[in-house]
Amino acid sequence: MKIINKKSLLSLSFLISITLLSHAQSNPSQIIVPKGFSVSVLAEDLGSPRHLTVAKNGDIYVNRKADKGLVLLKDNSGDGIIDERKIIGEEVGTGVLANDRYLYFSSNTSIYRYELDENYNLPEGQEPDKIVGGLIDNGRDNAKPFVMDDSENLYVTIGSWNDPCRAENSGKGMMPCPILKEAGGIWKFNGRILNQSLSTGTRYATGLKNAVAIDWNTETNSLFTVVHGRGQFHDFYPQYYTAKQSAELPAEAMYELKKGDNAGWPYIYYDQFKKKKMVAPEYGGDGKKTGGDDAIDPVMAFPAHLGPNDLLFYTGDLFPKKYQNGAFIAFHGQSPELKKGYFVAFVPFKNGKPKGKWEIFADNFAGVDLANPSGPIQHRPCGLAIGLNGELYVSDDLNGTIFKIEYKK
């Protein structure tokens, strides 16, 4: 059909999504950032943008969780304003990364790549190569975010759809947890080889329920992640946990990962108040019993239920020195403990390790007081990327917005 082909249908769906969201315009002035920083809207009406990446020519590619196709955003005039949008392909997913030669992206089951030309543009009419396929998708926590090291190895998160690896209609956990064979960890693949499967890769690290926030630290040449923790302590074990404890546990934990590391899920969790690894109630814990001697310790812990959805080490040169090589984290949820959420946090690093306390860097994406909400949430930070001039881009998968955060030297 020449009138309504795939490309036309994708464009039509994109226009429909713009129409549906056009009533909810973004207000960058509501976002609170430190003195000297400013926030503007780079693009709106993108549907459900997740992770994003900036190519060497400044083109921005955005993956989306519920709207078909990557979105390409181009600034053809160089004035900082997006003047061209284009939908590429028809997959939905989370991960996306551009390097010198390729544009990589993920669906909920696979990792693909397009080849870029010598000017880092994506040629028309290209079909993507599949690097890895057949990864498990059980509908929940099924995103496949990924990063790449300097040797073109891909590190792919496969999250667990079962919060504590609990047997159905039972208060007990499965022992050993069968999910760990194909999920609940990070797998390593050779990014230069096509048509791989789970068995082709190596389970690089395990015991991670859902490591959506993931980045490669070029200063330490190592993998870092901030992991979504489990929940429902009080729901299933009221004899051990109060409703308040259930709302405030466990920590969302940051790990530095080496090959073979085990973070302990589902057998343990990290209690940020006790600063200890605790045995999960499904496996004999009672809220007091410590364990996990064979599991690594987190390098930092955050309040429960904040939903870390992206991690980015800042390697730009626009922001002040304190931010150099530190980590930004996009938190997609809210903390009953803090009565805050939907913000971008910053973790200072020194000599490749977190140094000092974490802080809220960009706040109030929600647009409402979460302690006493008076209306709906307006934005949820999800993805992070550094622009060519050192600016920070933040995607919002609730209202389809990309924000740009700059600093005036």
In a domain, 399, yes or no: yes
24-51 per-position pLDDT tens digit: 568 888 999 999 999 999 999 999 999 9
Q: Residue 170 has what pLDDT? A: 80
- Residues 181-206: what's their mean pLDDT? 98
β-strand pairing of 261-262 with 202-206: parallel
Q: Residue 244 burial by CB count (10 A; 0-12/13-18/19+): exposed, middle or buried?
A: exposed
* Residue 311: inside a domain: yes
Residue with tokens 């999920």: 183
Residue type, 80: G
CATH number, domain with residue 66: 2.120.10.30
User: What confidence tens digit (pLDDT) does each residue in 326-366 have?
Assistant: 999 999 999 999 999 999 999 999 999 999 999 999 999 99
* Cα gap 72→155, rounded to integer Å: 24
Q: What are the tens digits of pLDDT across the range 281-331? A: 999 999 999 999 999 999 999 999 999 999 999 999 999 999 999 999 999
Instruction: Answer for the pair 333, 305: CB distance below 8 angstroms, yes or no.
Output: yes
Helices (H), 217-347: 233-236, 243-248
In a domain? residue 282: yes
Phi and psi at 68, nearest 5°, equal -65, 135
C-alpha of 53 from chain center: 12
Average pLDDT, rounded, for the chain: 93
Write down the pTM of the prediction: 0.93
| Structure token pair of residue 26 | 């973004």
Torsion of CA 328, 381, 276, 229, to 10 degrees: -140
pLDDT at site 148: 98
Give the Cα separation of 159 and 68 in Å (integer).
22
Residue 142 lies in a domain: yes
Q: Is the dihedral of CA 121, 126, 131, 132 positive or negative?
A: positive
> How far apart (Å, rounded) are the C-alpha atoms in residues 270 and 279?
9
Q: What is residue 168's predicted lDDT score, i.e. its pLDDT?
A: 84
Q: What is the pLDDT of residues 219-255, one digit of tens each?
A: 999 999 999 999 999 999 999 999 999 999 999 999 9
87 domain-assigned: yes
129 is in which domain, residue-wise? 6-407
Calpha distance 45→20 (Å, rounded): 9
Counting the structural domains of the chain, the total is: 1
The CA distance from 137 to 157, in Å, is 12
Structure token digits, residue 245:
């404890």
Binned at pLDDT 50, 70 and 90, residue 4 comes out as very low
In a domain, 1, yes or no: no
What ranges in 111-236 are assigned the alpha helix state H? 233-236
Looking at residue 246, what DSSP letter applies?
H
- Ranked by mean pLDDT, the top range of 71-80, 297-306, 367-376 is 297-306
Over 80: is that where the pLDDT of 21 sits? no
Determine the pLDDT at residue 127: 96
Polymer length of the chain: 409
